[in-house]
Amino acid sequence: MSEAGSAPTLDGRGQPLWLVAELTYRCPLRCSWCSNPLDLDAYDSELSTDEWKRVLAEARSLGALQLGFTGGEPCLRKDLEELVAEADRLGYYTNLITSGVALTEERLVRLKAAGLRQIQLSIQARDPALGDELVGARVGEHKIAIARAIKAAGYPMVLNVPVSRRNVDRIEPLLALAEELGVEFVELANLQYYGWALANRDELLPTRAQVEAAEAVVRAARARLGRHMTIYFVVPDYYEQRPKACMNGWGAVHLTVAPDGTALPCQAARVIRGLELPNVRRHPLEWIWRSSPAFQAFRGDLWMKEPCRSCDERDKDFGGCRCQAMLLTGDPTNADPVCAKSPHRHVIDDAIASAQRPRGRLLMRARAAGR
Amino acid sequence: MIRLDDVVRKSPAYLFRWEPSQDAHVLLYPEGIVKLNATAAEILSRCTGQRVADIVAQLAEEFAVEAVDAIRADVLQFLEDARERGWIRTDA
Ligand SMILES: C[S@@+](CC[C@H](N)C(=O)[O-])C[C@H]1O[C@@H](n2cnc3c(N)ncnc32)[C@H](O)[C@@H]1O
Ligand code: SF4
Ligand code: SF4
């Protein structure tokens, strides 16, 4: 998830500072690593404009400051301008997280007028042909053109690069492009293995040597560019000894609302069996955030088992990612298996070993039916 | 190092404003939120294309501080840090 690279320097004091609005799961691209759920068509009843406005207002009154419009492809919603305008009026810092496919120069101007603060554009390769291959559509040229248009329209911009075995060796030309465009932030996001990415893990996980080579490229670029461009490098957690401090803790600062109104503590949380996910169509957001069983489930540390329960690092990483523990160990109360102290660490090592022998079978993301 | 005759302004990628729910000034930027303490907010609010020396003078006057040397050192230190983090820019 794009949000993984971010480091809020502000303690939420129990407020949902970050609201992620997944406007739709519809998308014309077919990225084999897409973090959207595999059963896309189960969420085709999208919230209306008015329902979204109510969600925005309720989250803002709970203290939300940052708002990311994402998806699927958020630009497929015709009411995007209207929602941006409402969010800006409410006092959000509005971010648009997009593949750029449905963007035009005119629309960039309209969104700017509506109050959009910044755009995060995902791009896979400097070479349009490789980009096309990776996303399963002919959009490589358009993405580069739209990156230029975003800067020309005067937006601060994050260039998001989802990094896998298939483009990890081609980071340098992308950094050169970012420099040429005057992009402020580049996020080299090694994939997180949920959703489609998990299904394709053997084909996507880079080798350790590839990751180290990419890190060297990033170090050199940082030294060259200094403070003109900030480069975030999200390392693949599989190669770490400790898990990421996922979402800064469950139900601590992040609140995601899915296209059908399902409220989630993180975008992958549906994978946790037995979690009764609340919906904004049926409950006020305040109850959802403060009291719903799903948001309470892994708050604090009372839910922890050993080795986390008695670990002196539990305030630092909160035991890692609940969804990863669920997906890879079958129990969301286990330590994230990435942790070297986890009795399940072998599932990660096995996955790394298995990815050294990819079979060349890639499952491209399906197209969502939409509303 | 930042110098007294440098002209400083906030980077366009950062939005600086008062946030009632935090009871503080905040800096908002792509992927981040920074809650500022009162001193930082006083200095940043003056990074509007002014010279550093003028900001120091204004702060000394506003807070009726005799020890201008101490203020100057604090402001320079903060601005250096802020520039390093990308919050402000100095005009060439
Ligand atoms: C799901 S996409 C939705 C927005 C838009 N369709 C796009 O791709 O830019 C949100 C962000 O997550 C990133 N992303 C998608 N799948 C990911 C994964 N498995 N791991 C890390 N980032 C991922 C994308 O590159 C994009 O920046
Ligand atoms: S398929 Fe690609 S472009 Fe579409 S939502 Fe998923 S990550 Fe974004
Ligand atoms: S044992 Fe649990 S709390 Fe300790 S470092 Fe590992 S995941 Fe974190």
Residue A316 CA, closest ligand 3 atom number: 8
Q: Virtual CA dihedral for B74, B79, B81, B83, nearest 10 degrees?
A: -170
| pLDDT averaged over every residue in chain A | 92
Q: Is B1 on the interface with A (CB under 8 A)?
A: no
Strands B88-90 and A230-234: unpaired
Q: DSSP states of A193-228 as a string?
A: -SHHHHHTHHHHPPPHHHHHHHHHHHHHHHHHHGGG
Cis peptide before A72 (omega within 30 of 0): yes
Out of A7, A154, A157, the one facing B32 most closely (by C-beta) is A7
Q: Does A5 contact B31 at a Cβ distance shorter than 8 Å? A: yes
Chain B, window 15-74: residues with a beta carbon less than 8 angstroms from a chain A beta carbon: 15, 19, 21-22, 26, 28-35
Average pLDDT over residues A352-358: 87
Is the pLDDT higher at A12 or at A121?
A121
Asked if residue A5 has pLDDT above 60, the reply is no
- Which residue, by CA, sits nearest to atom 6 of ligand 2? A34
B86: left (phi over 0), alpha (psi -120 to 50) or beta: left
Nearest residue, CB atoms, B32 vs list A6, A120, A157:
A6
Residue A294 predicted with pLDDT over 90: yes
Look at residues A21, A20, A5 and name the one whose alpha carbon lies nearest to residue A159.
Answer: A5
The reported pLDDT for the residue numbered A369 is 57
Between A4 and A256, where is the model more confident?
A: A256
pLDDT > 70? residue A4: no
Burial class (CB in 10 A: 0-12, 13-18, 19+), A341: middle
Other CB atoms within 10 A of residue B39 CB: 14
| Cα–ligand 1 centroid distance for A131 (angstroms) | 14
Residue A44 three-state SS: coil
Question: Ligand 2 within 6 A of A32 CB?
Answer: no
B30 and A227 within 8 Å at the Cβ level: the answer is: no
CA of A2 to the centre of ligand 1 (A): 6
- Side-chain-side CA neighbours of A5 within 13 Å: the count stands at 24
pLDDT at A7: 37
Give the pLDDT score at A12. Answer: 55
Residue A141: closest CA among A123, A164, A157, A116: A123
Q: Measure in Å the smallest separation between the Cα of A315 and chain B Cα atoms.
A: 21
| Whether pLDDT at A16 is above 80 | yes
- The neighbouring-strand residues paired with A70 are A22
Alpha helices in chain A (DSSP H): 49-61, 80-90, 105-114, 128-135, 140-152, 171-181, 195-199, 201-204, 208-225, 285-290, 293-296, 314-317, 322-329, 345-355
Closest CA–CA distance from residue A8 to any residue of chain B (Å): 5
Chain A residues whose CB is inside 8 A of the B12 CB are 154, 156
Domain chopping of chain B, boundaries: 7-86
What ipTM was estimated for this complex? 0.83
CB contact at 8 A, A72 and A24: yes
3-class DSSP state for residue B12?
Answer: coil
Q: Among B31, B80, B87, which would you mutate to test the A interface (most chain A Cβ atoms within 10 Å of its Cβ)?
A: B31
pLDDT at A13: 63
pLDDT digits 0-9 by tens, A229-241: 899 998 899 999 9
Comparing B12 with A52, which gets the higher pLDDT? A52
Helices (H) and strands (E) in chain A, counts: 14, 9
A71 lines ligand 1 (CB under 6 A): yes
pLDDT-derived band at A40 (thresholds 50, 70, 90) equals confident
In this complex, do A93 and B31 lie within 8 Å of one another by their Cβ atoms?
Answer: no
Nearest atom of ligand 2 to the alpha carbon of A25: 5
**Partner residue facing A65 (CB), from B12, B13, B19:** B19
Query: Lowest mean pLDDT: which of A42-46, A61-65, A69-73?
Result: A42-46
Neighboring chain B residues of A93 at a CB cutoff of 8 Å: 15, 28-29
> pLDDT tens digits, residue range A83-120?
999 999 999 999 999 999 999 999 999 999 999 999 99
Within 8 A of A187 by CB-CB distance, chain B residues are 31
Angle at A131 between CA A112 and CA A184, to 5 degrees: 40
3-state secondary structure of A359: coil
Per-residue pLDDT tens digits for A313-325: 999 999 999 999 9
CB A187 within 8 A of CB A159: yes
pLDDT digits 0-9 by tens, A235-285: 899 999 999 999 999 999 999 999 999 999 999 999 998 999 999 999 999
Structure tokens at A168: 């990890």
For A121-172, write each residue's pLDDT tens digit: 999 999 999 999 999 999 999 999 999 999 999 999 999 999 999 999 999 9
Q: Measure in Å the smallest separation between the Cα of A185 and chain B Cα atoms.
A: 8
Block residue for tokens 């708050």: A299
Q: Which residues of A touch B87 (CB under 8 A)?
A: none
Rounded Cα distance between B38 and A312, Å, is 34
Do A95 and B30 lie within an 8 Å CB cutoff? yes
Strand partners, A214: none
In angstroms, the CA A256 to CA A346 distance is 31
The mean pLDDT of A341-358, rounded to a whole number, is 93
Q: Which residues of A touch B21 (CB under 8 A)?
A: 15, 63, 65
A33 lines ligand 1 (CB under 6 A): yes
Residue A151: exposure state from Cβ atoms within 10 A (0-12, 13-18, ≥19): middle
Two structure tokens written together for A330: 């079958």
Quick one: which of A212, A209, A210, A193 has its CA closest to A201?
Answer: A193
Chain A residue with Cα closest to B28: A93
**Does ligand 2 come within 6 angstroms of the Cβ of A71?**
yes
Residue A2 pLDDT class (50, 70, 90 cuts): very low
Question: What three-state secondary structure class fits B75?
Answer: helix
Measured in Å, how far apart are chain A's first and last C-alpha atoms? 24
Q: How far is CA A172 from the centre of its chain?
A: 23
Give the DSSP letter of residue A124: -
Query: Does residue A131 have its Cβ closer than 6 Å to ligand 2?
Result: no
Strand order in the sheet with B48-51: B48-51, B7-10, B88-90
* Cβ within 8 Å of residue A161, ≥6 positions away: A122, A123, A124, A167, A171, A174, A186, A187, A188, A189
Cα distance between residue A170 and residue A190, in whole Å: 13
Residue of A nearest to B16 (CA): A93
- The three-state secondary structure class of B80 is helix
Using pLDDT thresholds of 50, 70 and 90, give the confidence band for residue A1.
very low
Question: What pTM was computed for the model?
Answer: 0.92
Q: Which two tokens stand for residue A256?
A: 């995601």
Where residue A44 falls among pLDDT bands split at 50, 70, 90?
Answer: confident
Q: In the prediction, which pLDDT does A8 show?
A: 38
Is residue B82 within 8 A of residue B44, CB to CB? The reply is yes
More reliable by pLDDT, B31 or A172? A172
pLDDT band at residue A17 using 50, 70 and 90 as cut-offs: very high
A-chain CB neighbours of B28 within 8 Å are 65-66, 93, 117
Just give the CATH number of B7-86: 1.10.10.1150
